[in-house]
Amino acid sequence: LTTAATALALSVTAQAAFAACDDGEIVVKFAHVTNTDKHPKGIAASLFQDRVNEEMDGTMCVEVFPNSTLYDDDQVLEAMLQGDVQMAAPSLSKFETFTKVFQVFDLPFLFPDIAAVDAFQQGETGQAMLDSMQRRGLQGLGFWHNGLKQMSANKPLLVPEDAAGLKFRIQPSDVIVAQMEAIDVSPQPMAFSEVYGALQTGVVDGQENTWSNIYGQKFFEVQDGITETNHGALDYLVVSSVDFLDSLEPEVRDQMLTILSEVTEERNAAVTEVDAEARQSIIDAGGEIRELTPEQRQAWVDAMKPVWEQFSDGIGQDVIDAAVAAGE
Ligand code: LMR
């Protein structure tokens, strides 16, 4: 492209992105990496956008950029600190360079279900986590649920030995690295947007993710099957920058945050349904789902749970204890 053509292309893109916003409105760019349909985060972000744009018309305008169209998760937090994007909801596995405390969410076989994750987040320890990155310029605004993770590969996985020697894409998390190494899997951190291609071309053999992500990205099409391990949680932190929040008039900020907390409550309450729908959609689309016997599942627990020990000092044993108690 010539320089002029590039400039034109950029300005067309910029116009498209801001088409819904009027002059004088505060523009809130909300970048995320998933699809919008049948996906807990996609649905919640779109609902937040629709409500702000209707109820705060003339004052504030949210523009959601889904599917990694604006940033990958490994760029979005730096971009937020630069003021190039105002909101995001990366998974809790993606804050490791800012704080170690979120590592608790990645510990394998800690939370039995999303209700336990919710109870922990709503408790004192979880609520304090929202403020844990203020000194680094980031403010947590709430937790959005997705679901428990499942394992998939280009061959059937029933016991941990079936995965030994394979390469798995992972989110960039030291806990997940340790979890995969515990089952002799080679962990390959990679952006979400690249996973389908990497599975398809054999750059990696397998991956772990939730039903809605496996369905939304069509991973089941390029895997032998999905094994229902429910071995870990994948949840989100809705996050903004301290600078952006401070720049808002108090009434404007309060109205935005009230809408956000209502959206959070409504969509979190519906997450089990969205999760189950995505699981069923995989089956309907011809995907293979393998359930484990209690003995098979126990083999995964026995292999992976010992990694907790490596992280208890960094996370804090009190935090781990509070998380375990939330599931009891
Ligand atoms: C992943 O990278 O697998 C997930 O964090 C993507 C997401 O946002 O659910």
More confident residue, 311 or 37: 311
Q: 229-274, pLDDT tens digit by residue?
A: 999 999 999 999 999 999 999 999 999 999 999 999 999 999 999 9
Q: Does residue 213 line the site of ligand 1, with CB under 6 A?
A: yes
Q: Does pLDDT of 45 surpass 70? A: yes
- Find the mean pLDDT for residues 50-69: 97
> Three-state DSSP class for 256?
helix
pLDDT of 286 above 50: yes
**Ligand 1 centroid – CA 192 distance (Å):** 6
Question: Does the pLDDT of residue 18 top 60, yes or no?
Answer: no
Pseudo-torsion of CA 188, 148, 137, 69, nearest 10°? 70
- pLDDT tens for each residue of 177-199: 999 999 999 999 999 999 999 99
Q: What is the mean pLDDT of residues 68-88?
A: 97
Q: In ligand 1, which atom is closest to the CA atom of 192?
A: 2
C-alpha–C-alpha distance, residues 186 and 168, integer Å: 6
Please state, in angstroms and rounded to a whole number, the distance separating the CA atoms of residues 276 and 284: 12
Q: Long-range contacts for 90-93 (Cβ within 8 Å, ≥24 apart)?
A: 90/32, 90/33, 90/236, 90/237, 90/239, 91/146, 91/171, 91/234, 91/235, 91/236, 92/143, 92/233, 92/234, 92/235, 92/236, 92/237, 93/171, 93/172, 93/173, 93/175, 93/176, 93/234
State the distance from the centre of ligand 1 to the C-alpha of 2, rounded, in angstroms. Answer: 36
Q: What are phi and psi of 11, to 5 degrees?
A: -70, -30
Pocket lining: 130 vs ligand 1, CB cutoff 6 Å: no
150: helix, strand or coil: strand
Grouping H, G, I as helix, E, B as strand and the rest as coil, residue 226 is: strand
- 176 ligand 1 Cβ < 6 A: no
Q: Could you tell me which of 170, 115, 98 has the C-alpha nearest to residue 323?
A: 115
Q: Give residues with Cβ within 8 angstroms of 11, minimum separation 6.
A: none
Average pLDDT over residues 110-120: 98
Ligand 1 pocket residue status of 209, Cβ below 6 Å: yes
Residue 19 has pLDDT above 60, yes or no: no
Q: What's phi and psi for 130, nearest 5 deg?
A: -60, -30
pLDDT at 142 exceeding the cut of 70: yes
**Spatial contact of 66 and 42, defined as CB atoms under 8 Å apart:** yes
* Gap from CA of 205 to ligand 1 centroid (Å): 18
Average pLDDT of the residues in 69-83: 97
The pTM of the full predicted model, rounded to 2 decimals, is 0.93
**Can you tell me which atom of ligand 1 is nearest the CA of 209?**
3
Q: Whose alpha carbon is nearest atom 1 of ligand 1? A: 192
C-alpha of residue 31 to centroid of ligand 1, in Å: 13
Give the chain's mean pLDDT.
95
- Residue 14's pLDDT is 46
Q: Which residue's CA is minimally distant from atom 5 of ligand 1? A: 91
Cα(147) to centroid(ligand 1), Å: 11
Report the candidate in 154, 201, 215, 206 with the shortest Cα–Cα distance to residue 183: 206
Q: For residue 124, how far is its CA from the centre of ligand 1 (angstroms)?
A: 26
User: Is there an atom of ligand 1 within 6 Å of 192 CB?
Assistant: yes
Distance from Cα 269 to the centre of ligand 1, integer Å:
20
Judging by beta carbons within 10 Å of its beta carbon (0-12, 13-18, 19+), is residue 125 exposed, middle or buried?
A: buried
Q: Is 171 in the pocket of ligand 1 (CB under 6 A)?
A: yes
Nearest to 148 by CA among 91, 98, 94: 91
Index of the ligand 1 atom closest to the CA of residue 191: 2
Burial class (CB in 10 A: 0-12, 13-18, 19+), 245: middle
What percent of the chain is predicted at pLDDT more than 90? Answer: 94
Q: With a 6 A CB cut-off, is 35 part of the ligand 1 pocket?
A: no
Alpha-helical segments (H) within the chain: 3-18, 40-55, 73-81, 114-122, 124-129, 174-181, 195-201, 211-216, 242-247, 250-269, 271-284, 294-304, 308-315, 317-326
